[in-house]
């Protein structure tokens, strides 16, 4: 681990035109599991004293010390609890460790001080399970009001055979359950943006043309109607949304938003196959630049491709939308949990490929991502404008290439919104980039575009852009989901 | 954030002891490529087909086509790859679910549809690559066939069910398949015993081109008879073991000799076997069968030194019991501490909490009904079902002498001695799923109860479960009874003065086929005794053949404590 401390010094500075490699910017450091343990990481939480709590799919929770790569300090694992039912969320608050496990939200405490939990208090168990492996319950950390949000997968990821499958519920500090949103399919993680709004990832499948990051606005409908059958039981403060059309050909989300008042469209589509296949955990970066210039952005885990994607979010006309960028790759198993340490500026990532394949190749992983201090030349932000987009790069751009519309490319498409599994990309369009103006700050570029399509994913490529130092963009592609076009 | 002292501060050794866990098996998995390698392999792919395979298929089925045992089936030499490629194309376009057998190993994980992400060309070339790699020698797949099937695929919202797909595209038989010229004669009739078919006129007759024996001929579901005849080719003179199971009656003949007979109406619940010596070469095989009503099932199998086991019928007896493919992961109480296993435990509702105590007694406490669901002796639980693949299904206790001492909810307020014990109710919702009608049944939990968790007590870390019942707070703790007779003692502590409802508060301490007061307690059926001193206990009959043991509880002193034990008597 000692290497890390000096990694920034050792990293070679990129020569002009040299090929960027991930190790120059971010280093993936494995934290090996205790010998003999099958630590299929399913949730990670930070504990006081620079320790981690790590849950795994077998139901164990470890406390990990020395996970930050301080020289001469090996990671130490203490088994804090065991026997839980596939926990998929951890949260630390006021001396209690909260775990969202399949049947319930539990909080734990070590009362006798032997390092192991002895009190397991059920905070709430009012959602149903019937014995299907797909009945996953993904739990958030506490929101600003002390609630834990739980995203409940559909039965078999397709129907809703017992109460609240396909719903998000909130568990209050008093232990009451509040049905909060319907229309979920198969979540893979849940977390907050920098304002404390709650988002989850939902996987491609029935009524989901592609995987995406979705905004869990209370009272919202997220697109899959199968869980709406519990409205009478849930009796929330809002009306059951009308059903979308059950036709083979399907509709479009942009169309059905007009018919279904509470329909909140996916904030950021992660185009299936192009940017992973199974999005998972969500972590917001807030590190005063200690993790590169990505404060306020979301890191989203990706199980199949063993990656982490980067998300820029903005709110336009009251609707969340934004851009997804490829970011980190080469993790050693199927990433499930991500947790960012704001203070240290490091990202913890863990997962497992059990039952769901992953490119990583190892059965499970726990890894830490360290920033080397060298900032990659990237598209840092991408904002919608009435007639195009505004890009902010992480470093001053070469005005000639960045100011040339020919350095960019754009394609747009959407997906069928229908009951069948997934969707091809449809309604392809080729918006035309007619102008590219570098701003005075030397880092921002205003793109003027003809033919933006509301509701479409807009794929921007920036292959021709160079930094002022002559470097190409490390990841010259972005996928912006244009739910709303801002007014001028 | 609060003080750190609530968290373990003492560093332990790098390798921790894992109570209750067997060191399983991270390294049992087959060699798979390291992460960089799969990306590298994709970059270096030698053909579009290999590239498509590595990109879309290899994360699960592995670059070497060998799959992952217990999770993802192998493609190398798999019969599923052979023959008509439509089986594969349809499965890729729409996905597949349900248990399948591949090279004698069961698999059961949904394969998600890939049709929306793979183009026709990618599916065709990937399949061509798979069908010509790792020993597979099948024809190339034409892109046009994919394009044609894609037209159907978009109309299908559901995954293919394995049985449904195999009915359309049966797996090809192996090259050394021992049956030839399989023919049938079909007879209508309400038979309750096998008739003399040779004296009757068949209502239909034909050839079975699939080469396997079956009694599901599509002519009728009930009230029929079938005679199946075929040539059986044996490779060598040997001892052959024939086996048959049927629902309803059947007879098996070889060369005109009756080998096995199981006449009359009955389920296919056991196997009849017969061993004989047969010479090499061709033999006449004949099966007579009738179906009265209900299930129609016939299994005929053959075992021999030179041919191994061959299932001659499309239905295979007891395939369900051959499911266990994972090496067991037995969980055991170690270091004198109880071990807990929360998962789907067969015999309990989905919120089962297994507890294995030191000393070889166990229980499953059911947090859906706030009561002990089962107790058993010997080994605790095998975690291999849930800790492999996606962990599907309910797992029964690993040990023996499984008892369900107390059923349903533990407490109730009864208005009179005749008020029945409240039942565990199922709620039903009739609704529409994807626009089609569906009915869902689910456990409707009694809202008077709320589960509150458990605390691990003492050096043995024995869980004491806690719940509320109305305004009452209840603590329920079972632990090994000690003494020479195996059993579990149970302490139920109730705090509060007001039970929900008007009447007398009772504990249902036991239920069984019969309950008799005996010295020191109550005998329940033959299998266990409730050890207790309860002169006020009420023994009631429930229906014709069940009884229950109810104990009245007084809350006059601000609560109550009940201490008793379940003791095995067999």
State percent of chain A over pLDDT 90: 90
pLDDT, average across residues A283-312:
97
Give me the DSSP letters along A77-94: EEEEE---S---EEEEET
State residue B154's pLDDT score: 74
Is B16 close to A37, i.e. CB distance below 8 A? yes
Angle (CA) A254-A256-A258 rounded to 5° is: 85
Is B1 close to A92, i.e. CB distance below 8 A? yes
Give the span between the Cα atoms of A168 and A187, in whole angstroms. 10
Give me the DSSP letters along B310-366: EE-BSS-TTGGGG---SPP-EE---TT--EEEES-BTTS-TTEEEEEPTTSEEEEEE
Is B14 close to A34, i.e. CB distance below 8 A? yes
Nearest Cα of chain A lies from the Cα of B13 at a distance, in angstroms, of: 7
Nearest residue on chain B to A85, alpha-carbon basis = B342
Is B391 close to A129, i.e. CB distance below 8 A? no
> In sequence order, which residues have a C-beta less than 8 Å from that of residue B308 and are 6 or more positions away?
none
Q: What average pLDDT is seen over chain A?
A: 94
Nearest Cα of chain A lies from the Cα of B45 at a distance, in angstroms, of: 16
Residue with the two structure tokens 């208005």:
B415
Is A38 close to B340, i.e. CB distance below 8 A? no
Nearest Cα of chain B lies from the Cα of A413 at a distance, in angstroms, of: 14
State residue B5's pLDDT score: 37
Instruction: Give the length of chain A.
Output: 488
Is B110 close to A156, i.e. CB distance below 8 A? yes
Give the span between the Cα atoms of B185 and B202, in whole angstroms. 6
Other C-beta atoms within 10 Å of A387: how many?
Answer: 16
State residue B486's pLDDT score: 94
DSSP A471: P
State the CATH class of domain B179-322: mainly beta
Q: Is A487 on the interface with B (CB under 8 A)?
A: no
The per-residue pLDDT for range A29-44, each reduced to its tens digit, is 999 999 999 999 999 9
Give the span between the Cα atoms of A386 and B336, in whole angstroms. 69
Selected for mutation to probe chain B from A120, A165, A246 (highest B CB count within 10 Å) is: A120
The per-residue pLDDT for range A187-229, each reduced to its tens digit, is 999 999 999 999 999 999 999 999 999 999 999 999 999 999 9
DSSP B6: G
State residue B318's pLDDT score: 67
Chain B residues inside the 8 Å CB shell of A37: 16, 18, 21
Other C-beta atoms within 10 Å of B342: how many?
Answer: 26
State residue B438's pLDDT score: 85
Structure tokens at B70: 């217990």
Nearest residue on chain A to B69, alpha-carbon basis = A355
State residue B433's pLDDT score: 60
Q: Is A239 on the interface with B (CB under 8 A)?
A: no
| Residue in B215, B209, B214 with CA at minimum distance from that of residue B181 | B209
Whether the pLDDT of residue A116 is over 80: the answer is yes
Is B25 close to A38, i.e. CB distance below 8 A? yes
Q: How confident is the model at residue A1 (pLDDT cuts 50, 70, 90)?
A: very low
Structure tokens at A161: 């055979």
Decide: A272 and A422 in contact? Cβ < 8 Å. Answer: yes
Is A125 close to B34, i.e. CB distance below 8 A? no
Q: How far is CA B360 from CA A30, B333, B334, B363, B482, in A?
A: 39, 8, 11, 10, 11
Of A37, A128, A359, the CB nearest to B35: A359
Is A131 close to B394, i.e. CB distance below 8 A? yes
Chain A and chain B share a number of CB contacts under 8 A equal to: 247
A379-481 has CATH 2.60.40.1220 classification: yes
The per-residue pLDDT for range A322-377, each reduced to its tens digit, is 999 999 999 999 999 999 999 999 999 999 999 888 888 899 999 999 999 999 99
State residue B162's pLDDT score: 87
Chain A residues inside the 8 Å CB shell of B453: 106, 119-122
Sign for the CA dihedral angle at B143, B149, B151, B156 comes to negative
The arrangement of secondary structure in B26-168, i.e. its CATH architecture, is: Orthogonal Bundle (1.10)
Nearest Cα of chain A lies from the Cα of B560 at a distance, in angstroms, of: 23
Any idea where the domains of chain A sit in the sequence? 2-371, 379-481
Q: Enumerate residues 126 to 145 of chain A having a beta carbon within 8 A of any beta carbon in chain B.
A: 128-134
Is A38 close to B24, i.e. CB distance below 8 A? yes
Q: Crossing angle for the helix pair B48-56 and B35-43, nearest 10 degrees?
A: 150
Nearest residue on chain A to B395, alpha-carbon basis = A131
Of A160, A332, A422, the CB nearest to B113: A422
Of A103, A353, A359, the CB nearest to B351: A103
For each successive 10 residues of chain B (570 residues), what is the average pLDDT? 36 36 37 57 91 91 88 91 93 90 82 89 97 94 94 80 86 86 95 95 90 89 95 92 94 95 90 91 96 91 88 76 70 96 98 96 98 98 94 94 95 95 94 75 95 97 98 98 93 96 96 96 97 96 94 96 96
Structure tokens at A369: 């991502």
The per-residue pLDDT for range A238-282, each reduced to its tens digit, is 999 999 998 777 899 999 999 999 999 999 999 998 999 999 999
Give the span between the Cα atoms of B125 and B53, in whole angstroms. 8
Give the span between the Cα atoms of A368 and A362, in whole angstroms. 16
The per-residue pLDDT for range A452-482, each reduced to its tens digit, is 999 999 999 999 999 999 999 999 999 999 9
Nearest residue on chain A to B18, alpha-carbon basis = A79
Residue with the two structure tokens 């030194």:
B305
State residue A35's pLDDT score: 93
Of B17, B156, B350, the CB nearest to A103: B350
Q: What average pLDDT is seen over chain B?
A: 88
State the CATH class of domain A2-371: mainly beta
Is B442 close to A161, i.e. CB distance below 8 A? yes
State residue A19's pLDDT score: 66
Is A83 close to B155, i.e. CB distance below 8 A? no
């Amino acid at each position: 681990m000692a290497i890390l401390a000096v990694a920034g010094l050792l990293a070679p500075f990129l020569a002009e035109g040299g090929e960027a490699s991930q190790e120059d910017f971010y280093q993936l450091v494995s934290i090996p599991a205790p010998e003999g343990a099958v630590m299929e990481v399913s949730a990670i939480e930070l504990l006081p004293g620079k320790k981690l709590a790590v849950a795994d799919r077998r139901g164990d929770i470890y406390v990990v010390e020395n996970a930050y790569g301080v020289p001469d300090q090996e990671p130490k694992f203490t088994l804090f609890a065991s026997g839980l039912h596939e926990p998929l969320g951890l949260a630390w608050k006021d001396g209690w460790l909260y775990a969202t496990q399949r049947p319930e939200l539990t909080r734990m405490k070590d009362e006798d001080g032997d390092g192991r939990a002895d009190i397991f208090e059920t905070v709430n168990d009012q959602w149903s399970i019937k014995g299907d492996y797909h009945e996953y319950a993904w739990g958030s950390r506490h929101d600003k009001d002390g609630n834990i949000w739980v995203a409940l997968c559909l039965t078999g990821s397709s129907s809703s055979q017992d109460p609240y499958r396909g719903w998000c519920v909130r568990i209050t500090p008093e232990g009451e359950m509040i049905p909060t949103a319907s229309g979920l399919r198969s979540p893979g993680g849940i977390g907050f943006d920098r304002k404390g709004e709650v988002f989850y990832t939902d996987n491609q499948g029935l009524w989901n043309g592609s995987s995406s990051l979705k905004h869990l606005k209370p009272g919202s409908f997220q697109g899959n109607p199968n869980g709406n059958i519990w409205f009478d039981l849930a009796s929330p403060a809002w009306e059951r949304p009308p059903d979308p059309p059950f036709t083979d050909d399907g509709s479009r989300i942009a169309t059905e938003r007009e018919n279904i008042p509470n329909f909140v469209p996916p904030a950021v589509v992660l185009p299936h196959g192009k940017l992973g296949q199974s999005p998972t955990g969500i972590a917001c970066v807030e590190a005063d630049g200690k993790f590169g210039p990505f404060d306020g952005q979301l890191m989203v885990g990706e199980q199949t491709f063993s990656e982490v994607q980067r998300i820029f979010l903005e709110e336009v006309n009251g609707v969340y939308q934004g851009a997804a960028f490829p970011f980190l790759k080469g993790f050693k198993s199927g990433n499930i949990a991500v947790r960012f340490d704001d203070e240290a500026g490091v990202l913890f990532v863990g997962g497992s490929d059990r039952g769901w394949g992953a490119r990583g190749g190892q059965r499970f992983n726990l890894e830490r991502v360290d920033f080397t201090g060298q900032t990659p030349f990237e598209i840092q932000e991408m904002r919608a404008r009435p007639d195009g987009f505004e890009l902010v790069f992480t470093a001053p751009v070469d005005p000639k290439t960045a100011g040339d519309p020919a350095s960019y490319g754009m394609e747009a498409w959407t997906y069928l919104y229908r009951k069948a599994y997934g969707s091809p990309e449809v309604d392809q369009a080729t918006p035309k980039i007619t102008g590219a103006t570098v701003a005075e700050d030397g880092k921002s570029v205003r793109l003027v575009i003809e033919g933006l399509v509301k509701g479409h994913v807009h794929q921007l490529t920036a292959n021709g852009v160079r930094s002022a130092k002559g470097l190409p963009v490390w990841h010259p592609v972005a996928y912006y989901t244009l739910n709303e076009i801002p007014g001028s | 954030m609060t003080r750190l002292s609530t968290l373990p501060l003492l560093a332990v050794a790098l390798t921790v002891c894992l109570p209750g866990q067997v060191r399983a098996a991270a390294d049992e998995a087959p060699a798979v490529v390291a992460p960089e390698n799969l990306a590298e392999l994709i970059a270096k792919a030698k053909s579009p087909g290999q590239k498509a395979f590595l990109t879309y298929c290899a994360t699960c089925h592995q670059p070497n086509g060998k799959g992952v045992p217990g999770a993802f089936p192998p493609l190398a030499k798999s019969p599923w790859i052979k023959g008509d490629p439509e089986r594969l194309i349809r499965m890729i376009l729409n996905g597949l679910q349900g248990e399948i057998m591949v090279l004698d190993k069961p698999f059961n994980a949904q394969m998600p549809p890939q049709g929306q992400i793979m183009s026709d060309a990618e599916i065709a070339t990937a399949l061509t690559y798979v069908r010509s790699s790792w020993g597979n020698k099948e024809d190339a797949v034409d892109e046009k066939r994919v394009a044609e099937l894609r037209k159907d695929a978009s109309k299908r919202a559901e995954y293919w069910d394995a049985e449904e797909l195999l009915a359309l595209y049966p797996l090809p038989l192996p090259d050394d398949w021992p049956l030839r010229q399989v023919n049938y004669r079909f007879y209508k009739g309400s038979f309750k015993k096998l008739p003399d078919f040779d004296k009757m006129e068949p209502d239909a007759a034909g050839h079975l081109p699939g080469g396997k024996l079956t009694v599901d001929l599509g002519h009728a579901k009930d009230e029929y008879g079938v005679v199946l005849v075929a040539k059986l080719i044996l490779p060598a003179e040997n001892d052959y073991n024939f086996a048959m199971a049927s629902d309803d009656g059947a007879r098996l003949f070889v060369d005109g000799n009756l080998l096995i007979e199981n006449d009359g109406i009955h389920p296919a619940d056991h196997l009849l076997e017969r061993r004989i010596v047969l010479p090499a070469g061709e033999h006449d095989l004949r099966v007579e069968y009738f179906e009265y009503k209900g299930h129609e099932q016939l299994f005929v199998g053959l075992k021999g030194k030179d041919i191994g086991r061959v299932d001659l019928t499309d239905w295979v007896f007891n395939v369900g019991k051959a499911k266990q493919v994972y090496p067991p992961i037995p969980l055991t109480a170690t270091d004198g501490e109880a071990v807990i296993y929360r998962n789907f435990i067969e015999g309990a509702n989905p919120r089962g909490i297994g507890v294995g105590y030191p000393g070889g007694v166990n229980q499953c406490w059911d947090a859906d009904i706030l009561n002990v669901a089962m107790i058993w002796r010997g080994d605790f639980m095998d975690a291999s079902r849930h800790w492999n693949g996606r962990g599907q299904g309910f797992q029964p206790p690993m040990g023996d002498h499984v008892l369900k001492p107390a059923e349903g909810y533990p407490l109730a307020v009864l208005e009179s001695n005749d008020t029945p014990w409240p039942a565990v109710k199922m709620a039903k919702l009739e609704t529409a799923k994807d626009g089609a009608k569906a009915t869902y049944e689910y456990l409707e939990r009694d809202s008077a109860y709320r589960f509150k968790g458990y605390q691990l007590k003492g050096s043995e870390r024995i869980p004491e479960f806690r719940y509320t019942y109305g305004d009452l707070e209840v603590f329920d703790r079972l632990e090994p009874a000690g003494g020479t007779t195996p059993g579990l003692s149970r302490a139920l502590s109730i705090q509060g003065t007001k039970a929900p409802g008007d009447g007398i508060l009772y504990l249902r301490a036991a239920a069984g086929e019969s309950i008799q007061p005996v010295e020191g307690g109550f005998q329940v059926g033959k299998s266990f005794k409730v050890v207790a001193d309860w002169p006020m206990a009420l023994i009631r009959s429930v229906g014709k053949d069940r009884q229950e043991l109810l104990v009245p509880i007084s809350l006059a002193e601000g609560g109550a404590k009940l201490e008793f034990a379940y003791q095995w008597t067999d």
